[in-house]
Structure 1
Amino acid sequence: MASKDGFLSLEWEGLEELIDQFEHMGDKFEEALVDGYTEYGLLVEEGSRALAGYDTGDLEQSITFDRAELNGDTVTVEGGSNLSYALRRHEEPYRMGVHDKYDNGSLFPNYYVGGRGRATARKPTWMGMRPGRKFMENAILATETNYNDMLQRIMDITLGGGRK
């Protein structure tokens, strides 16, 4: 800041660098957005697997999430299971009470308690959620703070103050 003949003069040093940053901000934002949503999708995949019911392990292993994609003004990360019974396992209400399990001609008495099989009941909680129905929805609910943190990281990276 300099004064000449009683007038105030402001000089902006680094204006060209700032203009250059603005010109590349869109690219930086898009890259951070896709990377952030991809990372978040992998966290939801981890949670969905951890919270899925367990019998043979097929459902748990079938859950996958793709890399996020930017299409116009929308970013999308898709995931789920390709098993025909995955939607049923996710949405069907619990069958309360105690029930037997029949598998390949074998009887497992009192296997299901309160809608969860023994193997599912033995799985540990994940971020405070119990394994069972609504496993994908619960993975998203459990990671709400992670989602908000991701959005903040995207903004920080875009504005030049965050890590990549």
Structure 2
Amino acid sequence: MVKDDLFEIQWEGLDEFAKILDKMDKQSEKIIMDEMTKLGMLAEEGAKALVHHDHGDLEDSLSFDRARKEGRNIVVRGGSNLEYALRRHEEPYRPGVHDKYENGRHYPNYYLNGRGRGTHRKPKWRGYKPGRKYLENTIKAIEPDYNKVNTRALERILEIDK
């Protein structure tokens, strides 16, 4: 065997390259968190637009947190802390016309097929009517934005160190 036949490759600057990759990884995570937070804010906007409206308590209680890392996942949480929020979301509509009684006052023909006058006055949001399933409808309405957010995040990541 001839020792002169050895072929050797050395990668000089590997430590510097590893530092650049580490920096990109941290910046990438920050960019993704930023983009997911924006998506969460859009979800909050949609939920407030699509929730029923009587006094506005449930609408005011809806909020979404900033994105945060949980293990290997990036998570945005949102919703309401009011006890009746789930009931308002899930309860089926009551068909027909119904009166409203509140604080000793009578409001005739206030509810029409499960939606009160305040809810009927709210405009559609991205094609969805305000009322029941407001969170589910919000997610359906912003589904196209999810792909846009991912594309925007990728474009921002690819711009790092250019």
**Per the alignment, in what secondary structure is the counterpart of residue 70 of structure 1?**
strand
Deviations 1:41-99 (A, max 9, x none): 01000000010000001011100111110122111111111111111111111111111
Cα deviation, residue 130, structure 1: 0.5
The runs of 5 or more residues in structure 2 that have no matched partner are 1-15
Identical positions, percent:
52
Aligned: 1:134 with 2:133: yes
Paired residues, number: 147
Letter in 1 for 2:132: R
| TM-score when normalising by structure 1 | 0.83
| TM-score when normalising by structure 2 | 0.84
Distance 1:103 1:60 in 2: 19
**Per the alignment, in what secondary structure is the counterpart of residue 95 of structure 2?**
coil
RMSD, matched Cα = 1.9
Distance 1:145 1:20 in 2: 36
The runs of 5 or more residues in structure 1 that have no matched partner are 1-16
Q: Is the CA contact (8 Å cut-off) linking 1:28 and 1:157 kept in structure 2?
A: no
Where does 1:99-110 land on structure 2 (aligned, <5 Å)?
99-110=98-109
Cα deviation, residue 18, structure 1: 7.6
Aligned: 1:122 with 2:121: yes
Distance 2:63 2:99 in 1: 31
Distance 2:77 2:34 in 1: 14
Letter in 1 for 2:75: T
Deviations 1:99-133 (A, max 9, x none): 11111111111111011001101100111110000
